[in-house]
Structure 1
Amino acid sequence: MQLTAVGLNHQTAPLSIREKLAFAAAGLPDALRALAADAAVKEAVILSTCNRTELYCVGDAEHIVRWLADYHRLDIEEIRPYLYTLGCSDTIRHAFRVACGLDSMVLGEPQILGQIKDAVRVAQEQQTVDTWLNALFQKTFAVAKEVRTGTAVGENSVSMAAASVKMAEQIFPSVGDLNVLFIGAGEMIELVATYFAAKTPRLITVANRTLPRAQELCEKLGVNAEPRLLAELPEILHEYDVVVSSTASQLPIVGKGMVERALKQRHHMPVFMLDLAVPRDIEAEVEDLNDIYLYTVDDIANIVQTGQQARQKAAAEAEMMVEQKVAEFVEWQRSRQSVPLIRALRDEGERARRQVLENAMKQLAKGTAPEEVLERLSVQLTNKLLHSPTRTLNKAGSQNQNLVDAVAQIYDLEHPNNGL
């Protein structure tokens, strides 16, 4: 078994596929236990975000691909074109790059590091992490810290969540005077709501399909926030100056007619609307209405990319640092692979020492002179320790020059070259 990673991300798969292979946070512990219980997997960490699902394992890559398909009840051939499977060195490099924000949609974004730490914490709680993955991710966290402090790759990085507030501030003088409505209660809404909450708006409302999840998010925000059901949107939409939506609905939730009625009740006071969902939550025709400022994920890209060119230059430096750290970790891995052999060699030497020592003690008990006992002990110990390498060299003769050279290097010997 070797270190491997199986996954897909925003670069290799559309949202429709990423959704099918995502792991819900509540079900992640069970998934980890199921994966690690498989005989073909010794260690496992599952990273699942809105942009990527990745399984870092010590195990067989093809077996992990089959497990992933079976777990989500999908045909393996349906997902295989979107997956990447990485070998040992590539897995190390990929983990380092992801943690540094070099593989993110927004170059240098910091949220992914926290998400990786959460994934590792859950795996540790489920005891699916051992020597190799623990070492990999401890090194990963150290590399990410060094890259972020030693380069400018994360400087001026603006997340979509932060950009949402910036866009609203371009229309309204103060977020603190606004009523803000969030439609949905998923990861993206939680991020955006956190940024808006920091501006202490007059009112925050979270409308969700289920009230408990909306209530949970409102409690997290710690401001004047109230939960509502999606079914109430037609009655309450007119109360809000800012509407941000991100759900998994396959059909629009907010239609043109609903917005027209809300505008009449608002006496045509402007509304900022941000649709972060794919497919859209807000009908595209809403954009045609006066007093509505509707933006989508594509519209927010320009703000998100602020400073991107400067970060690209820093990214080249970061990539060089990553390559250096990969080489260091691979070298450490190789040294660790020698540990069992070193331990076995020392155990063999210890057995030989005890055996000749036991014989020496018996000779001393019989009254043999100490000088004679020491002489015998030294000869016996030398013979025992040199027996295996001598026999191996005799068998190898001149047919295995690599072995002969290895023995000469181990014992720091010069051996004659017979010119053959």
Structure 2
Amino acid sequence: MSVFALGLNHTTAPLDLRGRFAFSAEQLAPTLRGFRERLQRASEVAIVSTCNRTELYVGANRGLVTPAVDWLAGVGGVSPQTLREHAYVLEGGAAARHAFRVASGLDSMVLGEPQILGQLKQAVREAETAGTLGGSLHQMFQRSFAVAKEVRSSTEIGSHSISMAAAAVRLASQLFEDLRENKVLFVGAGEMIDLVATHFAARHPRAMAVANRTLERGEKLAGRFGAEAMRLADLPSRLAEFDIVISCTASTLPIIGLGAVERALKQRKHRPIFMVDLAVPRDIEPEVARLSDVYLYTVDDLSTLVQSAGEKRQAAVEQAEAIIETGVQSFVHWLDQRGSVPLIQALQTQADDWRAIEIARARKMLAKGDNVEAVLEALSRGLTQKMLHGTMAELNAAADGDQRAQLAQTVSRLFLRQSARPPVDDQR
């Protein structure tokens, strides 16, 4: 069995298409089970879903790629052809290399960003909970975590990145001269909002608020930053109070609509609003961007601000790629060995069966009073004949000269590995 990866990310698919394939943490387990029920030959599957990517990792041969594409396209409500135009399929070592690069932050919109490693680990935990991880994927992901750790500890890959949160603050600073004069609203209370709030709090804005569907969770995050907690249902009526709005929730539908923003602008007498939508699918209706007094940025828009250039960055990438390649070769070797396990087990079972037959026959001979030496001779001869019978039959049946020569070489390598000559010390 091999592994393959089927996915789409920020380099292959636009934001709105990625939004169709975004899975919340609560959706992962039932989705994984649904995939395995649909494709019963795929016993191993894991899904990585972030704002930048959705990737399906499957422990199966390439023959299941087409059914997997059809299934994923159905989940996203698009045609298989549309999905293929924006997706990538990687198998074996290529799939492992991709997973290792993702874990190490080399395939991220922000080079070296650390959040993806935690997201990958969460995906593995969800697959374990759903009972769909399996040995091959478990081994691949565990090795990806080890490679990512080495990349981060041995290279400077993480020191040359600007996070999405820092990019949002930079953009806001370009619009407003002094963030200490502004009010900031954070919509959501997840990890990304936590990170963004940390960056904005360092600029000491005039006021901050957290709007969340679950008030208790919003209060917990707000308490850390001395911010106000508010219910998500109150957002439309209070939107006009805020100069900066950062949103990142797991909602499947936009929660900030065009009408709400238009009413807010009217109340603000058209003072500008800076908005960042970090959610996939979108939290803010895209039509909002057409309003003249709104500066709306999506997760893809921020990619232009997270460039870290120079020779140090390239050197760090090259060093990281070398570490990853070593890890890939090790995993491919393990995968190849794992492919031989069924054959090894079958050989061991066959040998045990032969041994049991000959031992049973030897015991009968002993019970009849046969000479021990004769019994041992018969036991050894019976085992030898059984072990060599198939090989002899294949050699005798080989009609083609090239086939016979190749088979002879294989047999010699398997059965004649030791020299027939006695050791040098015994020839004196």
TM-score range, shorter chain: 0.7 to 0.9
> In structure 1, what is the equivalent of residue 132 of structure 2?
128
Contact 1:245–1:281 (CA<8 Å) still a contact in 2?
no
1:370-407 deviation digits (Å, cap 9, x = unpaired): 22322222222222222222222222263412222111
> In structure 1, what is the equivalent of residue 348 of structure 2?
346
> In structure 1, what is the equivalent of residue 161 of structure 2?
157
2:70 alignment partner AA: R
> In structure 2, what is the equivalent of residue 262 of structure 1?
268
Q: Does 1:237 align with 2:240?
A: yes
TM-score w.r.t. length of structure 2: 0.80
- Aligned equivalents of 1:301 and 1:376: distance in 2? 77
- Aligned equivalents of 1:9 and 1:214: distance in 2? 32
Secondary structure in structure 2 of the residue aligned to 1:57: strand
> In structure 1, what is the equivalent of residue 332 of structure 2?
330
Secondary structure in structure 2 of the residue aligned to 1:205: strand
- Aligned equivalents of 1:354 and 1:121: distance in 2? 44
Secondary structure in structure 2 of the residue aligned to 1:120: helix
Q: Does 1:69 align with 2:73?
A: yes
Secondary structure in structure 2 of the residue aligned to 1:206: strand
Deviation at 1:258, TM superposition (A): 3.9
Deviation at 1:234, TM superposition (A): 5.7
Pairing 1:19-418 to 2, within 5 Å after superposition: 19-38=19-38, 39-59=40-60, 60-165=64-169, 179-183=183-187, 188-196=192-200, 203-207=207-211, 212-213=213-214, 216-223=217-224, 224-229=227-232, 232-233=235-236, 235=238, 237-238=240-241, 240=242, 242-245=244-247, 248=254, 252=258, 258-259=264-265, 261-262=267-268, 273-276=274-277, 279=286, 281=288, 285-286=292-293, 296=297, 303-306=305-308, 310-396=312-398, 398-400=401-403, 401-413=405-417
Bigger shift: residues 26-35 or 319-328: 319-328
Higher relative contact order (CA 8 A, sep 6+): 2
- Aligned equivalents of 1:197 and 1:121: distance in 2? 32
Q: Cα distance 1:55–1:330, how it changes in 2: closer, same or farther (>3 A)?
A: same
2:107 alignment partner AA: D
> In structure 1, what is the equivalent of residue 424 of structure 2?
none
Secondary structure in structure 2 of the residue aligned to 1:106: coil
- Aligned equivalents of 1:103 and 1:138: distance in 2? 18
Deviation at 1:78, TM superposition (A): 2.9
1:182-241 deviation digits (Å, cap 9, x = unpaired): 24667754542354457786743134xxx6246534434543331144665565634x46
1:20-43 deviation digits (Å, cap 9, x = unpaired): 122233222211110011224221
- Aligned equivalents of 1:368 and 1:257: distance in 2? 105
1:227-285 deviation digits (Å, cap 9, x = unpaired): 144665565634x4644356846964675784475379xxx9xx883434673746552
- Aligned equivalents of 1:281 and 1:230: distance in 2? 19
- Aligned equivalents of 1:161 and 1:411: distance in 2? 65
2:9 alignment partner AA: N
Q: Cα distance 1:258–1:385, how it changes in 2: closer, same or farther (>3 A)?
A: closer
Gaps of 5+ in 1: 288-293, 416-420
Gaps of 5+ in 2: 420-428
- Aligned equivalents of 1:319 and 1:359: distance in 2? 60
Deviation at 1:111, TM superposition (A): 0.8
> In structure 2, what is the equivalent of residue 418 of structure 1?
none
- Aligned equivalents of 1:159 and 1:214: distance in 2? 27
> In structure 1, what is the equivalent of residue 18 of structure 2?
18
Bigger shift: residues 87-96 or 120-129: 87-96
1:56 alignment partner AA: Y
RMSD: 3.4
1:349-372 deviation digits (Å, cap 9, x = unpaired): 222222222222222222222223
Bigger shift: residues 253-262 or 364-373: 253-262
Secondary structure in structure 2 of the residue aligned to 1:123: helix
- Aligned equivalents of 2:383 and 2:83: distance in 1? 62
Contact 1:99–1:113 (CA<8 Å) still a contact in 2?
yes
- Aligned equivalents of 2:172 and 2:11: distance in 1? 29
Bigger shift: residues 69-78 or 331-340: 69-78
1:83-115 deviation digits (Å, cap 9, x = unpaired): 112222221111111111111111111111111
1:42 alignment partner AA: S
Secondary structure in structure 1 of the residue aligned to 2:159: coil
Secondary structure in structure 2 of the residue aligned to 1:226: strand
1:115-154 deviation digits (Å, cap 9, x = unpaired): 1111111111010111211111111111111222222222
Contact 2:240–2:267 (CA<8 Å) still a contact in 1?
no
